[in-house]
Amino acid sequence: MDFTKFEETAGVAFKNKALLKQAFTHRSYINENKASGLEHNERLEFLGDAVLELVITDHLFNTMKEASEGEMTSLRSALVNADTCAQVAQALGVNEYLLLSKGEQKDDTGRARAYILANTLEALIGALYVDQGYEAAKDFIMKHITPILEVIVRDGKWIDAKSLFQEKAQEHLGATPAYKTIRESGPDHDKHFTVEVSVGREVMGEGEGKSKQDAEQAAAKNALEAKGWK
């Protein structure tokens, strides 16, 4: 596969093209093509996740001078979560270059594909870090991810949904929400959680995430939208 067009779109030029290809290689592809000699992207994803969080933390610390620790934490979460990463990956055309099993190729929409796109973006950041160092990875993140901060602040997407939902539930219903994990899927290194939030006996919302905390936030956001509590 030729990644030239992708490199032009992303504004990167890998020295080691095999590393770039590995970033796009999903575990499912390796399972179906054991003789390919390729490695999947999970180790690169692990590295890229850490680099992404460091760059965003540093950026927020140096630019959001009036923000509290809690506000910066929420803003960082909004910038590095799966939805944002998938959005950036989609804009870069990552979907066109993924190496997936035939089964994964068929399911080209929905949350499963969004998670794959998000993980691939993190793997790309990890691969760029290995290929060219921290500054190259930082430049990529600053170009493609940090500009979304303005939109997140404008639309209030950084606000802690759990805290807001608890406040609204107590105001309108006089009760505190309860969260319950109803489903876990995926291997230990790539868990996905589904959580529902209830007030009393009524289930108000459901959400998914790569951690229970992210899933709870998604469930609270879903409940706020369902109740029209903004």
Q: Please give the structure tokens belonging to residue 203.
A: 């289930």
- Catalytic residue flag (residue 122): yes
Q: How does DSSP classify residue 201?
A: T
Grade residue 152 by pLDDT with cuts at 50, 70 and 90: confident
β-partners of residue 194 are 183, 208
Closest CA to 88 of 111, 115, 66, 117: 117
45 labelled binding-site residue = yes
Which listed residue (49, 131, 208, 214) is catalytic?
Answer: 49
DSSP run (H or E) holding 181: strand 178-185
Rounded average pLDDT over 77-101: 92
Told to judge if 225 belongs to the known catalytic residues of this protein, a careful annotator would answer no
**Residue 107: what pLDDT?**
66
Enumerate domains of the chain plus CATH numbers.
4-155 (1.10.1520.10), 161-227 (3.30.160.20)
Catalytic residue from among 104, 122, 208, 216: 122
Tell me what the pLDDT averaged over the chain comes to: 91
- Across 81-104, average pLDDT: 91
* Residue 119 known to bind ligand: yes
Q: How confident is the model at residue 189 (pLDDT cuts 50, 70, 90)?
A: low
The number of helices, as runs of H, and strands, as runs of E, in the chain is 12, 3
Going by C-beta distance under 8 Å and a sequence separation of 6 or more, which residues neighbour residue 20?
A: 3, 7, 14, 124, 127, 131
